[in-house]
Chain A
Amino acid sequence: MYLFDNNFIIDIVSKRKGVSEYYFDILVYCLKNEMACIAASQLHNLRYVIKRNYAEYYEEYLALEKRLRILKTPSCVDFENKMAQADMEDYLIDLSARAVGANIVTLDGQFLALSDKAIHPEEFYALEEKADTATISFLDIKQITLKHLNGIEQAFDRTIDSGSFILGSEVKAFEQEFAEYCGTRHCIGVGNGLDALHLILRAMDIGEGDEVIVPSNTFIATWLAASHAGATPVPVEPDEKTYNIDPNRIEAAMTEKTKAIMPVHLYGQPADMDPILEIAKRYGLKVIEDAAQAHGARYKGKRTGGLGDAAGFSFYPGKNLGALGDGGAVTTNDTALAARVRQLRNYGSKIKYLHELKGFNSRLDELQAAFLREKLRHLDEWNEQRRSIASQYEKLLQDTNIGLPFVHADTIPVWHLYVIRHRERDALQQHLLHLGIETLIHYPIPAHKQTAYRESTFVDQMLLTQQIADSILSLPIYPGLDAEKIEAISRALHNYIG
């Protein structure tokens, strides 16, 4: 991001000879790429100077002002600071730039000398060229967060002002809003995604001596939830096309101890729920969705979170709906279950200092709830962007020997991850890395091969899961990943396969 000094803006807007003709492209480029900022402290002086001295350009300035990102002016003013003593206006601009890691574009020699954040317009071009050829990161959470900084700042201020930091009005409001979003009767904010699943199992009285059907191809949290409840996770291999649990293999894994099935909507694509629900109904089992990667995804038109008896969500920062720290939620239509989860998350207590259950401390943080409320407003737009990126990858990578994701006809995925397959996965990953493209593997070691599950009797089984783990590669996918980068990634993949 670039923050523009007052004089730079005034010179460009007033068409000052030299400065404006040489450097207006910098401002235009930054506007086009949503990187152009000014600090709130600059607003009144800019308006005054332009209105008083360049009245003919005032309307144009106001139009520009609307397109600029307005950054906060931090209150942590150090009056002894050299810059504060030299020029308070510049110092405040410098503080604003530091708060978001922006550079300041200025021609002011004193500013350039005193602030390491200040760059001369002549330096801008080289800096952007360097950024152009820089690494394509797997995920850019900072960029997504900065884009919505105004709302996040408001959420922060609202929480501080409320003076209520545990299970306050923000958690309550988020629970209502997220339940509404998922189309469920209840939402209970908890500490993280693992706790969400764990607390559901506890609330269902599933524990010691019970078995829970889990996918073999998943992040370990699904298994850990069952283990933490005291139950045994029993893995079932995936459908090779969707990577989600294969409903046709579930019955073979069941015993009289089986109490629940925990399908995961892996990579953002809902599991094939109807056959799973049918098996559960036949055997009287509970169905718990692990929706940690599928906020907003749909199965037969219905959003995840309300497809089974209960669902666990994670708001880990990298998720489609991510907090600025840990967070999770349980959604359900079962009022009694919701009440029990609510109690379990809060030391087993409904009324302060009265503990009916041996509960846990796993409450969604008030501040995180406030941030999530702001972010929830953008979730559909972000999911749409992810769908667009996935369709661009599909278009650019078709007719290659790369295994592309398969979308089940009944689902609308939200593309938490875009996972491809290739028999030379490791070499392909290295090739991309050399070209500055970061990729990850979700997940390199299946749960049954982890040391934590060394007692697992499935070590030599789950061959399909192992094959998948050996050949999958997750490409960058996140809101803000531009077409140029998607093309660069696709080009790099084409280069490898020849």
Chain B
Amino acid sequence: MRTQAIKFKDGWYIKDLPGVSDIQKDTIMIDVAVAEQDMTELHYKQLRGLAATEQYMVKRKREDLRETDIGRNLEFRKKHGIVFKNFSEAMKAL
């Protein structure tokens, strides 16, 4: 499998690891391949990109996940003619 790892102050975050919910252990073994250009000092803009991603993850950790009323959502969609299955479909139609 292949995925991305993002560096934080206190370690690396591995995002979207396929099948992650099925893994029973807290520790897994991975092989790391670092490209040559990533070993050199990062350009400011690349660093900013990493910081932006880090901020995204920080905010995710602060999430307030409340219970969703699916019935209410469906009613809202019906009332306002939102017939799309997902956002991509909506973007194509809008």
Within the assembled complex, what's the spacing in Å between the Cα atoms of A109 and B63?
Answer: 5
B52-A45 in contact (CB<8A): yes
B62 close to A (CB within 8 Å): yes
Cβ of B62: which chain A residues have Cβ within 8 Å of it? 108-111
Q: Which of A32, A52, A108, A120 contacts B80 (CB 8 A)?
A: A32
Rounded to whole angstroms, the CA-CA distance of A22 and B4 in the bound complex is 26
Question: Does B77 reach chain A (CB closer than 8 Å)?
Answer: yes
Residues in B neighbouring A95, C-beta threshold 8 A:
none
Interface string of B24-64 (1 = CB under 8 A from A): 00000000000000000000000011001101100110111
Asked if B52 contacts A25 (CB within 8 A), the reply is no
Residues on the A chain within 8 Å of B84, using CB: 24, 28
> Which chain A residue lies CB-closest to B65?
A107
Contact in complex: B87, A29 (CB < 8 Å): no
CB distance from B54 to the nearest CB of A (A): 10
In the complex, which residues of chain B have a beta carbon less than 8 angstroms from the beta carbon of A27? 87
Q: Are A60 and B91 in contact (CB under 8 A)?
A: yes
Given known A6-B56, A53-B15, contact A107–B63 (CB-CB < 8 A)? yes
Number of A positions contacting B (CB below 8 A)? 40
B80 touching A89, Cβ below 8 Å: no
| A31 lies within 8 A of chain B by Cβ | yes
Q: A122 vs B63: C-alpha distance in the bound complex, in angstroms?
A: 13
| A63-B64 in contact (CB<8A) | no
Q: Which residue of B lies closest to A46 (CB)?
A: B52
Count of CB-CB pairs between chains A and B under 8 Å = 94
Closest to B70 in A: A22
Main SS of the interface on chain B? helix
Other-chain contact of B64, A21, A31, A120 (Cβ < 8 Å): A120
Chain A residue numbers with a CB within 8 Å of B64 are 107-109, 112, 120
A108 to B65 CA separation, bound complex (whole angstroms): 9
Give bound CA distance, A110 to B80, whole Å. Answer: 31
**In the complex, A221→B59 CA distance in Å?**
57
In the complex, which residues of chain A have a beta carbon less than 8 angstroms from the beta carbon of B56?
A: 6-7, 10, 45, 49
B86 contacts A20, CB within 8 Å? yes
Which A residues are CB-close (under 8 A) to B63? 7, 107-109
Q: Is the CB of A32 within 8 A of B94?
A: yes
A110-B62, A120-B66, A125-B72 are contacts. A28–B53 as well, Cβ < 8 Å? no
Q: How far is the CA of A24 from the CA of B63 in the complex (A)?
A: 17
CB–CB A45/B55 < 8 A: yes
Among B15, B59, B70, which residue has the most Cβ atoms of chain A within 10 A?
B59
B55→A15 contact, CB < 8 A: no
Contact B59–A29 (Cβ < 8 Å)? no
**B59:A28 contact, CB within 8 angstroms:** no
Residues 108-124 of A at the B interface (beta carbon under 8 Å): 108-112, 120, 122
Q: Chain B residues near A1 (CB, 8 Å)? A: none
Structural contact, A25 and B49, CB atoms closer than 8 A: no
Q: List, in ascending order, chain A residues with CB within 8 A of B69's CB.
A: 122
* Residue among B60, B64, B70, B84 having the largest count of chain A Cβ atoms under 10 Å: B64
> Nearest chain-B residue to A29 (Cβ)?
B80
Residues of B within 8 A of A44 (CB): 48, 52
Q: Chain B residues near A109 (CB, 8 Å)? A: 62-64
Q: How far is the CB of B16 from chain A (nearest CB, A)?
A: 9
The answer to whether residues A12 and B87 also contact, given A48-B49, A48-B52, A107-B64 and a CB cut-off of 8 A, is yes
**Taking the nearest CB of chain A, how far is it from the CB of B92, in angstroms?**
9
Q: A52-B53, A53-B15, A108-B63 are in contact. Are A28 and B82 (CB under 8 A)?
A: yes
Docked complex Cα distance between A403 and B72 (Å): 42
Complex: how many Å from CA A112 to CA B49? 25
Which residues of B are found within 8 Å of A122, using beta-carbon distances?
Answer: 66, 68-69
Known: A53-B53, A110-B62. 5 other contacts (CB 8 A): A5-B59, A24-B90, A28-B87, A44-B52, A49-B52
Q: Which residues of A contact B (CB under 8 A)?
A: 5-7, 10, 12-13, 15, 18, 20-22, 24-25, 27-29, 31-32, 44-45, 48-49, 51-53, 60, 63-64, 67, 89, 107-112, 120, 122, 125, 128
24 example contacts (A-B, Cβ-Cβ < 8 A) are as follows: A6-B59, A7-B56, A7-B59, A12-B87, A13-B87, A15-B87, A22-B70, A25-B73, A25-B82, A28-B94, A29-B80, A45-B56, A49-B49, A52-B49, A67-B94, A89-B55, A107-B65, A108-B63, A109-B62, A109-B63, A111-B62, A122-B68, A122-B69, A125-B73
